[in-house]
Structure 1
């Protein structure tokens, strides 16, 4: 293992370390044939447009628009772009540095996300994600922050959050790709359905609308959703709506008569009945109970005079 490897256990055990960007750049290549070389940092190579190939000592990776490759520090590789077929790429290189006052640490990320922990256990020196549209917005935000975020702790904190998000997303997508093709596709259908529900729960959506967004027959989506999530689409949507209702009741002053509209239920009476069925309290009683909890919490705060 290379001394600066992404998988080196010292980043998670010998104090608090965090990922740190050391280089990033856009580049359009054409008729380019790079010799084998290696970096001291871990590298992301994202294809914005065109085609190219990234070759390591063990494999040649054909890449096209939307593909991402992650190369561990010290991995020899070379880039090949044919004449007349330009390839535009975004490259981001990172290593690790002490956290200082900026968190989360890499250890906290690995301890808190099972997918990242599993990826670290596998120690893949090369990770390839095909058509990884999920990571492009994070990469774009990361580079914009590096370019325009100014200097100081605020910029460091934001870039740390963004690269942490990127690593977790890559880890989760890598975990999906470890499954066989059929299982991987089913998982993506279900994930897309869940994302749709979280974006549109405030609207009058039904299972058929979610299925149309995923381009699947409603009956088939219902079956694979239940198998993967252990609840039906309707049950998942209802649970999400009730969680959002509890948040609005406890944390905002939105009138109770309007909350049904905020969570995609047309009937206020139905909302009240459903909320009480699930929580055991009416919306008004729930808001009052949460206000009481906050009141007693505030009452328990004691101010102590310190002798001069």
Structure 2
């Protein structure tokens, strides 16, 4: 995504086929939308604050937990009171191969030539991947590449659904910090045991108010959100390490291996042992886009 005037774009990382940027926006209320031009396939994930994004005759109000999937080559307008976003720009060659190898031209958003951008809602797995991605200074390139592929895979699956999965609920800006602080706490502490009171206190809200607010924004309860983050982390460890299953269970915040095995099978359709076996098999294939 090309930078626009008075929007700070910090380059974080580049590889052969993508780059990661941190985008900070802080526009005054009396200014009109700033114009820009998008020259590549990209994903924009809102970390904090809110952004108004306009393309052609469409207007999108984004806030924490929203993602824009953008096709290349179009003009846009953007305005925000204050927001921080993560932007992933992909090479044109990667985008063309993605379309071809996954046959995306026939499905959903990618098949609609009149659709330039699509607004999606992040689930706990996407939020976890986003948080892990921002640990880039401490990750090897192959680890970072793997996280990017996981994120692209999630976004492609969401974008191929014909209808965007964003509700019509209009958020209140003073709720943003509560949700943002809660997500940060979960992503940093999911391996530990903590209570709803611990989580809501960190977010500066009462437990009852926090529970209702969190589910309204994320579509899942705090417990379900934490469980999904723990399961995704365990899935990554099963796929990418040789650690024993019991160690993975405890490392991801589960109190016992039996409960972990039951929850994992409900989520992924396989027991942890069978998933690990298949993941380490030469025949196992995930998203393979060189």
TM-score (norm: length of structure 2): 0.45
Between Structure 1 and Structure 2, whose CA radius of gyration is higher? Answer: 1
TM-score (norm: length of structure 1): 0.43
| Greater fraction of residues in helix | 1
